[in-house]
Amino acid sequence: MAHDATRIELPGVTVDRSGSPSRLAFGPGFNAAAPFIDRHVAEGRGGKIAIRCAAGEVSYAELAARVDRCGNALLGLGLAPGERMVMVVADSPEFFYLFWGAIKAGIVPVPVNAILRAADYRVIVEDSACAAVVYSPEFAGEVEPALAAAGGPRISVRIDGGPRGLAALLAAAAPALAARPADATAPCFWLYTSGSTGRPKGAVHRHRDMVVTSELFGRGVLGITGDEIIFSAAKLFFAYGLGNAMTFPLWAGATTVLLGARPTAHNTLETLERYRPTLYFGVPTLYASQLQVLDTARPDLGSLRLCVSAGEPLPAELFRRWHQRTGLTILDGLGSTEALNTFISNRPGDVRPGSSGRPVPGYQVRIVTPDGGEAAPGEPGRLQVQGDSTAAYYWNNPEKTAQTMLGDWIDTGDTYLRDADGYYRHCGRSDDMLKVGGLWCSPTEIEARLVEHADVLEAAVAGIPDASGNIKPEAWVVLRSGAAPSDALVEALMLHCKHHLAPYKFPRQVHFVAELPKTATGKIQRYLLRSRHPSAADPA
């Protein structure tokens, strides 16, 4: 697929690049696996490396063959077209085989957060009514109790070398699979999001959605070509990572680098130095941690042409510190699970630090005031987006679908304003949900866990900027009679949360108070906690 061509004919889709944005026309029976997987061998890319990781390399020809075998293996297990397959899978080639093999066979893959707890997985398994769960062995300790508690599903597959593991199933499967005819607007895959309630919601995405984000943002804004080597610290289960590490490189015929382990400042910098990518996707929390390492370490980052950030707002100071230390620009942007990837972004040669940038060509955005009107420049309101990558609906949740999917528009739940120059600035959530390291976190979930501790009477959690400007949960705790504040109790409360919630869902600081600010009806006023915090007076 030539980068400078103006009209591209791909399996099932025509791409017209004569203007901005590109125009996409989908043919009948369109299945997303055709342009992302099937075409590469025919285009002479079979010997090119598609995936690099610690386990080795996978060429485009090997990827296509294993996707076919995986689709046949899933059908052979008894999965039927239209049924759901939940994936709790580490970033690995197997993620690709499962995701695309399912889509090609007409099965609906549902990648989910790989650092949840058993109770979370049980909710998702039951809500999705999935027919299968496939999981990496490192997650068995949480997944297997969830399956036992849920009483199903009827099929489970562990990714290991055992006789019933994925490797054995692939080896025994037929080598060729024809893509099941679908439609550009037919359900293709789901992604679960916590949204504004803390309870997971399954966003149903269509076959066209990954094409739209890969063409409009991946190619149109980031300029990704087949010569690219791409590394995303954000994981594949995350909408942001799914595009960065999988669909963007596959769309361009580029190479992706996968890190199976949970990303840290050290292992991501080691990955950048070892594999020498040209494009790096991170989140603000990770950039801040990497800068601390760069105070003493000097890894070679010379291969990078560009860095990208999303998941939570990138503080302007963090942008400046990264550029000063590395010479590299970070392009901050805004996306969502419902929109699949980035729809507002800074771009090469057009960066406004502290802002999310401007709308990606092909998307429409608006800021709506409480009275339903469109906000004037400088006036905050609820941000809404319209585009062809947005989810069709939430599975089994008509109430939230009606609240969020407003015709062709998605209500993001974010409060934004547009400045006089047309750049969009984040003003906070329209509710109390927090984004911690790019992942949604419900303060009420942490509060409920804290109150379970024997010494805690009441608790409230709010998001407070840390020294780098990234939002982190902090807790205000009223102790039971007879309990005394201490550093040991602070540590005990943090561990109490870490041991029973997803690892990022714990308070970074604990403040002991005599009472919590509440309304006359007893609701906690979290905004008062934020406004009274010392950081509220700090312009950084």
pLDDT digits 0-9 by tens, 184-208: 999 999 999 864 345 789 999 999 9
438: left (phi over 0), alpha (psi -120 to 50) or beta: left
Q: List beta partners, residue 135.
A: 88, 158
Comparing 123-137, 268-282, 477-491, which segment has the lowest mean pLDDT? Answer: 477-491
Residue 226 corresponds to which amino acid? Answer: G
Domains of the chain in start order, with CATH, are 31-182 (3.40.50.12780), 207-434 (3.40.50.12780), 442-537 (3.30.300.30)
CB half-sphere exposure, 180, CA atoms < 13 A: 20
Q: In this model, does residue 466 exceed pLDDT 90?
A: no
Neighbours of 331 (CB within 10 A): 22
Q: Are 376 and 325 in contact (CB under 8 A)?
A: no
Give percent helix, percent strand, percent coil of the chain, each to the nearest 5.
Answer: 30, 25, 40
Count of CB atoms situated within 10 Å of the CB of 267: 15
SS (H, E, C) 83-117: CEEEEECCCCHHHHHHHHHHHHHCCEEEECCCCCC
Q: Angle of helix 265-275 relative to helix 284-294, nearest 10 degrees? A: 80
Residue with tokens 């007893």: 522
Q: Alpha-carbon distance 477 to 474, whole Å?
A: 10
Res. 524: pLDDT tops 90? no
DSSP 191: E
Model confidence pLDDT, tens digit, residues 56-105: 999 999 999 999 999 999 999 999 999 999 999 999 999 999 999 999 99
Longest CA pairwise span in the chain (Å): 74
Residue 459 has pLDDT above 80, yes or no: yes
pLDDT in tens, 267-317: 999 999 999 999 999 998 789 889 989 989 999 999 999 999 998 888 888
199 vs 15 pLDDT, higher one? 15
Q: For residue 1, is pLDDT > 80?
A: no
pLDDT over threshold 90, residue 529: no
What is the C-alpha to C-alpha distance for residues 393 and 193, in angstroms, rounded to an integer?
12
Integer Cα distance of 29 and 181 in angstroms: 4
For 202-270, give the DSSP string. Answer: EEEEETTHHHHHIIIIIITTT---TT-EEEESS-TTSHHHHIIIIIHHHHHT-EEE---SPP-HHHHHH
CA angle 85, 244, 71 (to 5 degrees): 30
The answer to whether residues 211 and 237 touch, using CB atoms and an 8 Å cutoff, is no
**Cα 282–332–372 angle (5° rounding)?**
125
- Pick 1 or 408 by higher pLDDT: 408
Token pair for residue 420? 């006089």
Say if residue 175 is preceded by a cis peptide, omega within 30 of 0. Answer: no
Residue 95 structure tokens: 């993620």
